[in-house]
Chains A and B, each alone.
Chain A
Amino acid sequence: MFIKDLQLTNFRNFRKEMVRFKPGLTILQGANAQGKSNLLEAIYHLCLGKSFRAFRESDMILWNKPYYFLQGNIVFKNRIHKVEIGYEVGKRRKVCKINGILLQKGEDFDFCPVVFFSPDDLDLIKRGPEERRGFLDREIGQLSAFYRDCLQRYKKALRQKNSLLKINKLKKKVDRGLFTPWNKQIIYFGSRILQQRARLLSIWGQFAAKNFAHLFGQGKNSTLMLEYHPGVTIDPEIMNNLQEIENEMALQIDRATHQESEKGFSLVGIHKDDFTFLLGGKEAKRFASQGQQRSAIISLKAAQIQFYSKNYEKPIFILDDIFSELDYTRRKQCIALFQEAQQIFITHTLHEVLKDSFLNQKAPYSLLKINEGRIETVH
């Protein structure tokens, strides 16, 4: 998959810009605060119908303008797809069209393989389990509408159960039978979510381990593992058997009944899931250096690219300001890992720094200069 062209109108700091892209590598060069990340945001938005950072649609509109509009052509599954996205302040309505057909509210963008990488991704190792669950939900949700559906219903059932637990603790004793209907759904949807998380973490983990070994060489301390810790303890042996996962979940939720009613909130379920990055068998969060942590994340991102490429279509890879922190050799090795992407966008303040690494790959690349909301194609 790749983007052929993009038109931006009143989007962030772009008044009216039109830019053509080629498959392969594109470097976006410009000083800080000129609009490099804004262009990446527009690219991401065009592919997935949402931003990776804006909380409100109106955040993406150029100052004092009434609307923004993005339009572009994406080559996906050997077909050109015309995508149009607009938002008007007055109407408070977002309009998305694909090939001229208006998407209804709640209708999803068709699945598009896009991998995004920014310095914030290091939080995946450094911060808490919520961050990692968010990553799983975003990435698996991008792959499967079924997963999104299950997750939404799971969260609803969990909120209802927690509300009962709260009433039970603070106001009056609640009949046990009232918990069953919510627990049943927590188990039904939770087991399906758990199975998907386990499956994808295992696949990504295998790719990521190979990638990490590529960066650091084979050795006892250079093995990377992604270890899944579900909020319900499940024997890996039964991971393929939905019925057994459901039974096990029911058992553990039942066992926690007393403790849950004492605490006044739910303690067992996939909302307590986590996964860890293990380097040479040790937890990366506590024992790995900055550089190793960064390489672990790069290995995971590359794994996602390889996964898309193998199972769906070669993806678009978007890197926001990450290469500046890597040294020359590491950069070259990383680039080899990203080969499976069909189109790569990288931002950098000085393109000379990147040029060497990429020219050594003998791959042609495009260079765009971004200055105060204007985009200039250098070559």
Chain B
Amino acid sequence: MIFSPAITRLIEALRRLPGIGPKTAQRLAFFVLSMRKEDVEEFAHALLDAKKRVRQCSRCFNLTEEEVCSICRDPRRESTLLCVVQEARDIYVIEKTGQYRGLYFVLHGALSPLEGIGPEELKIPRLLQRLQEGEIKEVIMATNPNVEGDATAFYIAESARPLGVKVMRIGFGLPVGGDLEYADQLTMSRALEARREMF
């Protein structure tokens, strides 16, 4: 099927979004074309406006519309505790628990020499600078539990050690509410390694 140039352009634009295949892109494009003109304008405006306003927090690199994000500005948060995550969206996962009262730091990725990503490509130098300032006493590494995430956590832990900051890794183990028999063996063996005394 041949679409007009404008429709083709719209389909191609939609396809650049993650999780959108050719069929979904077509469906979305035709839906957009069936919308009222004002609604489409509002939609386009929302895209542009978000892109224009949202930027990285100068303290933690979380996404924000201010110079410093609301978490960094919150005086009730524990300013000696820092949780390091790969992506800004990870903050929302942790915030939803309502359990964490410290600050965050977003790396915007993980180390991966294969993709040309070293510490300089991430916010690691900025993180070390922040740790050098001395206010942070404890860092929790909450990068993903895969090869790249683990490597990133190791690297930061090694670099932070001379600064006298305590570096912790989030616990890996069994999903709460699950049965032991459903755990895969790597998870199980790591959970055994990270065993702790009963409280």
Give the B-binding residues of A (Cβ under 8 A): 144-146, 149-150, 153, 156-157, 159-161, 163-164, 167, 177-178, 180-182, 184-185
What's the count of A-B pairs with C-beta under 8 Å? 56
**CA of A182 to CA of B119 in the docked complex: distance in angstroms?**
14
**CA of A160 to CA of B148 in the docked complex: distance in angstroms?**
9
Stretch from B43-51, B77-85, B98-106, B150-158 forming part of the interface with A: B150-158
Contact A167 B155 (CB under 8 A): no
- Which of B111, B113, B148 lies at the interface centre, i.e. has the most chain A CB atoms within 10 A of its CB? B113
Residues of B156-191 whose CB lies within 8 A of A: 158-159, 184-186, 189
Partner of B186, one of A150, A180, A182, A184: A150
Tally B residues with Cβ within 8 Å of A: 21
The reply to whether the CB of B35 lies closer than 8 angstroms to some CB of chain A is no
Partner of A185, one of B114, B119, B147, B159: B147
The reply to whether the CB of B24 lies closer than 8 angstroms to some CB of chain A is no
Majority secondary structure, A binding face: helix
- Closest Cβ neighbor of B184 among chain A residues: A145
Contact A160 B147 (CB under 8 A): yes
Partner of B151, one of A144, A160, A167: A160
Q: Which 8 A-B pairs have the closest CB atoms?
A: A146-B185, A181-B151, A181-B154, A163-B113, A156-B147, A149-B186, A164-B113, A181-B155
Partner of A163, one of B114, B153, B154: B114
**CA of A150 to CA of B147 in the docked complex: distance in angstroms?**
11
Residues of A within 8 A of B58 (CB): none
**CA of A180 to CA of B112 in the docked complex: distance in angstroms?**
13
Contact B113 A160 (CB under 8 A): yes
**CA of A178 to CA of B159 in the docked complex: distance in angstroms?**
10
Contact A146 B158 (CB under 8 A): no
Q: A153-B147, A180-B155 are in contact. Are A144 and B113 (CB under 8 A)?
A: no
In angstroms, how far is the closest chain A Cβ from the Cβ of B69? 28
Q: A149-B184, A149-B185, A149-B186 are in contact. Are A181 and B114 (CB under 8 A)?
A: no
Contact A178 B118 (CB under 8 A): yes
- Closest Cβ neighbor of B150 among chain A residues: A185
In angstroms, how far is the closest chain B Cβ from the Cβ of A140? 13
Contact A180 B154 (CB under 8 A): yes
Residues of A within 8 A of B152 (CB): 181
- Which of B147, B154, B185 lies at the interface centre, i.e. has the most chain A CB atoms within 10 A of its CB? B147
Selected A-B contacts with CB under 8 Å, 21 pairs: A144-B185, A145-B184, A146-B184, A149-B184, A149-B185, A153-B147, A157-B147, A160-B112, A160-B113, A160-B114, A160-B151, A164-B113, A167-B113, A177-B155, A178-B113, A178-B118, A180-B154, A181-B152, A181-B155, A184-B151, A185-B150
In angstroms, how far is the closest chain B Cβ from the Cβ of A34? 42
Residues of A within 8 A of B113 (CB): 160-161, 163-164, 167, 178
Residues of A within 8 A of B150 (CB): 181, 185
**CA of A255 to CA of B9 in the docked complex: distance in angstroms?**
56
Q: A160-B113, A160-B114, A160-B147 are in contact. Are A145 and B154 (CB under 8 A)?
A: no
User: Chain B, 106-121, contact with A by CB distance < 8 Å: what is the 0/1 string?
Assistant: 0000011110001100
Q: A185-B147, A185-B150 are in contact. Are A180 and B158 (CB under 8 A)?
A: yes
- Closest Cβ neighbor of A192 among chain B residues: B189
**CA of A181 to CA of B155 in the docked complex: distance in angstroms?**
6
In angstroms, how far is the closest chain A Cβ from the Cβ of B135? 24
**CA of A150 to CA of B112 in the docked complex: distance in angstroms?**
19
Contact B189 A146 (CB under 8 A): yes
In angstroms, how far is the closest chain B Cβ from the Cβ of A55? 24
* 18 further contact pairs, Cβ within 8 A, besides A153-B147, A167-B113: A145-B184, A146-B184, A146-B186, A146-B189, A160-B111, A160-B113, A160-B148, A163-B113, A177-B159, A178-B111, A178-B118, A178-B155, A181-B111, A181-B155, A181-B158, A184-B151, A185-B147, A185-B150
- Closest Cβ neighbor of B111 among chain A residues: A181
Residues of A within 8 A of B159 (CB): 177
In angstroms, how far is the closest chain A Cβ from the Cβ of B160? 12
Residues of B within 8 A of A164 (CB): 113
- Closest Cβ neighbor of A156 among chain B residues: B147
Residues of A within 8 A of B189 (CB): 146
Contact A159 B154 (CB under 8 A): no
**CA of A178 to CA of B111 in the docked complex: distance in angstroms?**
9
Residues of B within 8 A of A150 (CB): 186
- Closest Cβ neighbor of B157 among chain A residues: A181
In angstroms, how far is the closest chain B Cβ from the Cβ of A145? 5
Residues of A within 8 A of B112 (CB): 160
